[in-house]
Amino acid sequence: MNQPTQWIDLRSDTVTRPTPEMRRAMAEAEVGDDVYGEDPTVNRLEARAAEILGKEAGLFVPTGSMGNTIAVKLHTTHGQEVICEARSHVMNYELAMMAWFSGCLARPIPTPDGILRWTDIRKEYRPLHAHFAPTGLIELENTHNIAGGVVTPKEVIDEICDEAHNLGLKVHLDGARIFNAATYLGISAAELCAKADTVMFCLSKGLGAPVGSLLVGTREDMARARLYRKRLGGGMRQAGVLAAPGLIALERMPQRLAEDHANARLLAEGLARVRGISIDPAKVQTNILVFDVSATGLESFEISRRLKERGVLANGISPSLMRMVTHFDVDRAGCERALEAMEQAVRY
């Protein structure tokens, strides 16, 4: 079979390409040396990100992983534990950075739905003890990627933050897709994150910018974070060319995320009708679908291969689980074509 020229790429929302407006903004960006704090476009992006998230200050970082790494470093000392959900990105997909850079051990808590609650966390919290490393930080992920784009509600985050703060602990929110969560809940990102000490969010996922993430928090924390960013090799000089599309992503793209959520729901409803695929469309809240393919008699990797032959890209995350992610480079018609391809792919 010939390979198609126009892929329907549902592997991730990281695959989005910059819009023509973003490309123009890159070409025209006003720049300076950001290591000296002199790039006006980066400064504008950081200030705007902090304002939108309701925090004092922001720091532009090349990736979400670097933002999370810096946050763990900010709030912990070597030899502490970081409580996180068992399927979290920070623990599973960031090359053990919390151990490598911050000398911390992850204390993962499995949950059925990807939502950490204070009752789960309280059981795993450890003060310093003759045998225990103390808890140094609580890390939350909203939306939760591998749990299928699941949203942690504001009340759950608020309770965790209140209880953590009573124990003298900080809370970092991996909000790579925080605007998807806010869209689902119908509240602002600032309201949703009001009590978190730091928040990382990505410009380069559903918001469509080519590169970049933001870490936001107190002015004092962001001044320290700037030094950790430099240590990690993230001092980016004339980074205004990257901040300029980021500003467009931040201002314009959150408003359209509901479209991606509707497409994800359409995909879920279609997949639920495909023989051997198990997914509950009612549980699809945002732009990520994780579904079980074991009853097709095929491993996810074989289904990926067959989909690719039909012009659709989607990854297996284990032999029995596959993930699809909707974004603004795949429209409703693309999702319908992906469903047709899936029906053919699982047929012998």
Q: Which one of the spans 63-71, 178-186, 225-233, 340-348 is the region binding ligand PLP (CB under 6 A)? A: 63-71
End-to-end CA distance of the chain: 16
Residue 107 or 205 with smaller CB distance to ligand PLP: 205
Residue 202 or 241 with smaller CB distance to ligand PLP: 202
Q: Taking CA 142 as the corner, what is the angle to CA 229 and CA 280, rounded to the nearest 5 degrees?
A: 145
Cβ of residue 152: shortest distance to ligand PLP, in angstroms? 12
Q: Which of 64, 146, 157, 67 is nearest to 110 (CA)?
A: 146
Judged by CB under 6 A, the residue of 76, 180, 213, 326 near ligand PLP is 213
Considering only residues 76 to 105 of the shown chain, the ones binding ligand PLP according to CB under 6 A are 89
Of all residues in the shown chain, the one whose CB is closest to ligand PLP is 64
Residue 314 or 339 with smaller CB distance to ligand PLP: 314
Cβ of residue 11: shortest distance to ligand PLP, in angstroms? 11
Residue 178 or 266 with smaller CB distance to ligand PLP: 178
Q: Is 198 in the site for ligand PLP (CB under 6 A)?
A: no
Please return the burial class of 259, using the count of CB atoms within 10 Å of its CB with bins 0-12, 13-18 and 19+: middle
- Evaluate the omega torsion of the peptide bond into residue 152 and state whether it is cis, within 30 degrees of 0: no
Q: Which of 142, 248, 204, 289 is nearest to 15 (CA)?
A: 204
Alpha helical stretches, state H, 167-256: 178-185, 189-192, 219-231, 240-252
Q: Is 64 in the site for ligand PLP (CB under 6 A)?
A: yes
CA dihedral angle for residue 90, residue 96, residue 101, residue 105, rounded to 10 degrees:
80
Cβ of residue 342: shortest distance to ligand PLP, in angstroms? 23
Residue 137 in 3-state DSSP?
strand
Cβ of residue 90: shortest distance to ligand PLP, in angstroms? 7
Backbone angles phi, psi at 184, to 5 degrees: -60, -40
Q: Is 202 in the site for ligand PLP (CB under 6 A)?
A: yes
Judged by CB under 6 A, the residue of 19, 41, 63, 286 near ligand PLP is 63
Binding string, 141-180, against ligand PLP, x = CB under 6 A? x---x----------------------------x-x----
Residue type, 300: S
- Give CA–CA dist 224/200, Å, rounded: 15
- Give CA–CA dist 286/291, Å, rounded: 14
Q: Outline where DSSP puts E strands in 125-257.
A: 135-141, 170-174, 198-202, 213-217
Cβ of residue 204: shortest distance to ligand PLP, in angstroms? 6
Residue 245 in 3-state DSSP?
helix
Q: Is 41 in the site for ligand PLP (CB under 6 A)?
A: no
Cβ of residue 128: shortest distance to ligand PLP, in angstroms? 29
Q: Is 323 in the site for ligand PLP (CB under 6 A)?
A: no
Q: Is 65 in the site for ligand PLP (CB under 6 A)?
A: yes
Q: Taking CA 303 as the corner, what is the angle to CA 301 and CA 86, rounded to the nearest 5 degrees?
A: 50
Q: Which one of the spans 1-9, 62-70, 107-115, 331-339 is the region binding ligand PLP (CB under 6 A)? A: 62-70
Tokens representing residue 116 in the block: 């950490």
- Give CA–CA dist 192/187, Å, rounded: 7
Cβ of residue 211: shortest distance to ligand PLP, in angstroms? 9
Residue 106 or 298 with smaller CB distance to ligand PLP: 106
Given its phi and psi angles, is residue 79 left (phi above 0), alpha (psi -120 to 50 degrees) or beta?
Answer: left
**How many residues make contact with ligand PLP (CB under 6 A)?**
12
Residue 253 or 345 with smaller CB distance to ligand PLP: 253
CB 42 within 8 A of CB 26: no
Please report, as ranges, the residues that interact with ligand PLP according to CB under 6 A.
63-65, 68, 89, 141, 145, 174, 176, 202, 204, 213
